Chain A
Amino acid sequence: MFRIRFHGRGGQGMKAASRILGNAFFIEDYEVQDAPRYGAERRGAPIFAYVRAGREPINERGIIRHPDLVIVADDSLVPVPGAGVMSGVDARTVILINSEESPQVWKQRLNFEGHVFTLPVETADRAELRFIGATCVGAAARLLGVIKRESLAEAIRQELADLGSDMVEINLSKALAAFDSMQAEEGRVTPAVTESAADYRPPDWIDLEFEDARASAPAIHAGATSVEVRTGLWRTLRPVIDHDRCNRCWWVCSTFCPDGAITVDSEGRPQIDYDHCKGCMICVAQCPPHAISAVSEQDAQAEEAEVAST
């Protein structure tokens, strides 16, 4: 049985990608199980999805502990602990990652011996990320080596038919291009051998002890603890205020911000709290003099890094 895990951010199409791969396996007469797993149910928040496919009915269920293939649509998720990208990865796992960095850099960074492949997308253009799911699934299908090109195409048509023929065509071209680009690596992913019940490592179960309610009630004895959670990490686009164009209306952007991440100082200048701005771009849409623009988060960070180094 193949066990495949997709990691991405809400809105990057990982659920659709997992379903396309599921469809493709199903077309190839595999038994299939696919599922998305959302935590925060918000655009930009880490999500994962998984696919199991085998020739026998599948009894396994729930999270994949030891994936054969891990697909990462957004390389900024790798250092986010909650995303669990490297969870259960071992030397035989294949990692497919959408990144400008080379596979060698990732092997070094992750201290990982196995196969790493990067995706052939122009990551500099964030608009391309709309189709990153298609690119991921195209490359993944070739790495798996058991999905025919036409089955992949049919799987995409099935999944995306409701979006209209233009969207189907764009996704098809992205997915098939990625499929073709991985020709040399066809069948690189191999299913793991299942652990034997005769020789397993026993779980380190413990006995939970009583602890009094001061410790064991699910309470946080402090207000506004949500500030400690840096939801700004979910952002793929960054709103940037041009203070020369801002007409100091002092309220429109800050009022519309659903996260209260915009404050206005005593001089009427709005300031964005980038630790908590999730990048929804509502302020960009609402600002009367169009003083807020959307900038790729990756570009903005690269620029910051450059400034910091000089």
Chain B
Amino acid sequence: MSRTLLTGNGAAAWGARLAGVDYIPAFPITPQTEIIETIAKWIDTDEMNARMVTLESEHSMITAAGAAAATGVRVFTATSSQGLLYGMEMLYSVAGWRAPFVLVNVSRGLSSPLTLEPDHNDILAARDSGCLQIHCSTCQEVFDSMLIAYRLAEDERVRLPVIVNLDGFYLSFTREPVEVPDQKAVRDYVGSYDPETTLFRASAPSSQGVAVLGGGPYSYFRYELHLAARNALRVYDQVAEEFGRHFGREHAAVEAYRVDDADIAFVMMGSFATKARAAVDRLRDAGLRVGLVRPRLLRPFPEAHIKRLLKGKRGVAVIDQNLSMGLGGVLHSEVASALYGQDGAPAMLLSFVAGLGGRDIADEEFFEMVAVTQRAIEKGEAPPPRLLYTQAELREVRKLQAIAHVEYEELNRASSANEGDRQ
């Protein structure tokens, strides 16, 4: 076992390599491309024995992933943001085939306006697809989650695609120390894939995802998909526990950091949650009892863990790095639904939206969120949801608007002058 500096993308590629994947349908997109570049290089130098095929779009790529998985081979693929959305039709379809594979999504904010830096609206658009979701906060976790994801996806009680999510830039291009175990240790944990009934073969026609009408059969198949996803809660706990025994690292469905005696807890997902961890340490140094609850699993939603961890807390600040237009933060409403009517549920559940398009969250903003939560507890009244946004940021936008406005005026002057010419 060696400890080495790897980017999140590199860690994902190592996970695919050591899990022994057979087939990788690929299509490039920033900030994910380094994953398929790395794997392509290994295949080229015979360090990895797998077949990579570049497709003409993510729509075809996800179709190929599902189709290959249906032949009983182990499949890996990766995409990001616009690419995930372009393949969205097939993402929902292949989940219904019950053909397991692992897809890495490197989170990046969605257009419009176009951006490259991360938030979670891309991966949340796949929330209801039937694919399971694991959200990572460090490069080590990316590697480890790849192995856990294959165990989860291929388990006979589940048989669903799993998406491993890592944030663009803050994980994808960031190097951190990563323990990479040797091939044998990984094989002992991941095992080989037994496809059982999913054995699509040449010259032996079968149909995946057939048409059904009338609602009855459709409801049956869709609800079975839901039950498979619900099974994944139990299966996840088992395969994560087994992972801990093999490799000595714990990856609970929900990470709890200094939560037990906390009065106030942050709830957040993804790589910025490590910043919340750092803030928790500093707040503890200042004598405040604060902790962090971080869901790694988003689908299936681990509400039992959330309920248990947040029970008896005085206040909870949910930090969403996403925005559902017309609602607000997605995680906030999911946590609220888990806690509603529960004995010992926190009275104050505050909503913050932050980190859209990779916008940084400063230390003092974590401190201030705790101060706002404390005031809400004292007053007995939760403030409205808040977007973390400063005066200085708005000033920058005003500058851009001023430039755009001058150009708009010039264009109007030019077009009215043209009108004059014609008359």
Contact = CB atoms under 8 A, between A and B. Distances in A.
A196 B285 contact: yes
Contact of A204 (B112, B170, B391): B391
B174 A221 contact: no
B169 A35 contact: yes
Interface of A: 19, 22-23, 26, 31-37, 41, 58-63, 65, 194-198, 200-208, 215, 218-223, 225, 228
Among A59, A194, A223, which residue has the most Cβ atoms of chain B within 10 A? A59
A223 B410 CA distance: 11
A218 B362 CA distance: 26
Nearest to A195: B363
A202 B364 contact: yes
B403 interface: yes
Contacts of B223: none
Interface in B265-291: 271-272, 274-275, 277-279, 281-283, 285-288
Interface string B382-414: 000011111110100000010110011011000
B285 A197 contact: yes
A197 B288 contact: yes
Contact of A201 (B173, B360, B364): B364
B215 interface: no
A51 B365 CA distance: 23
Nearest to A222: B407
Where chain A touches its partner, the secondary structure class is loop
Contact of A33 (B174, B275, B365): B174
A198 B287 contact: yes
B360 A63 contact: yes
B390 A32 contact: no
Given A61-B170, A203-B364, 9 more contacts: A22-B175, A32-B5, A33-B175, A35-B173, A35-B175, A62-B358, A194-B282, A205-B390, A221-B407
A34 B277 CA distance: 19
A129 B401 CA distance: 38
Given A61-B272, A218-B113, A197 B389 contact: no
Among B275, B388, B404, which residue has the most Cβ atoms of chain A within 10 A? B404
Contacts of A225: 407
Interface residues of B, number: 51
Contacts of B281: 59
A32 B176 contact: yes
29 contacts: A26-B5, A26-B177, A31-B177, A33-B175, A34-B174, A34-B175, A35-B169, A35-B173, A35-B174, A37-B173, A59-B274, A59-B281, A60-B278, A62-B272, A195-B282, A195-B363, A197-B279, A198-B285, A200-B363, A202-B367, A202-B368, A203-B388, A204-B392, A205-B388, A208-B394, A218-B112, A218-B113, A221-B404, A221-B408
A197 to B, nearest CB: 4
Contacts of A23: 5
Contacts of B408: 220-222
A60 B209 CA distance: 45
Contact of A59 (B275, B358, B362, B404): B275
B174 to A, nearest CB: 4
Interface in B339-378: 358, 360, 362-365, 367-368, 370-371
Given A59-B277, A202-B364, A220 B407 contact: yes
Contacts of A228: 403
Contact of A195 (B175, B272, B364, B389): B364
A195 B288 CA distance: 15
A19 to B, nearest CB: 7
Nearest to B393: A206
A208 B387 contact: yes
A205 B170 contact: no
A63 B275 CA distance: 12
Interface of B: 5, 7, 30, 112-113, 169-170, 173-177, 271-272, 274-275, 277-279, 281-283, 285-288, 358, 360, 362-365, 367-368, 370-371, 386-392, 394, 401, 403-404, 407-408, 410-411
Nearest to A220: B404
Contacts of B390: 203-206
In the A-B complex, the 5 residue pairs with the smallest Cβ-Cβ separation, listed nearest first, are A222-B407, A198-B286, A218-B113, A59-B278, A35-B174
A289 to B, nearest CB: 39
Given A62-B272, A204-B392, A19 B175 contact: yes
B271 A61 contact: yes
A196 B371 CA distance: 14
Contact of A203 (B271, B288, B365): B365
B5 A34 contact: yes
A196 B169 contact: no
Contacts of B367: 197, 200, 202
Contacts of B389: 205-206, 208
B118 to A, nearest CB: 10
Contacts of A35: 7, 169-170, 173-175
A286 B190 CA distance: 54
Nearest to A15: B173
Nearest to B278: A59
Contacts of A195: 282, 363-364
Contacts of A201: 364
A206 to B, nearest CB: 5
Contacts of A205: 365, 368, 386, 388-390
Contacts of A202: 364, 367-368, 371
A19 B360 CA distance: 22
Contacts of A223: 411
B286 A196 contact: yes
Contacts of B368: 200, 202-203, 205
A62 to B, nearest CB: 5
A42 to B, nearest CB: 13
Contact of B169 (A37, A58, A218, A219): A37
Contacts of B279: 197
Contacts of A31: 177
Nearest to B401: A215
Contacts of B287: 198
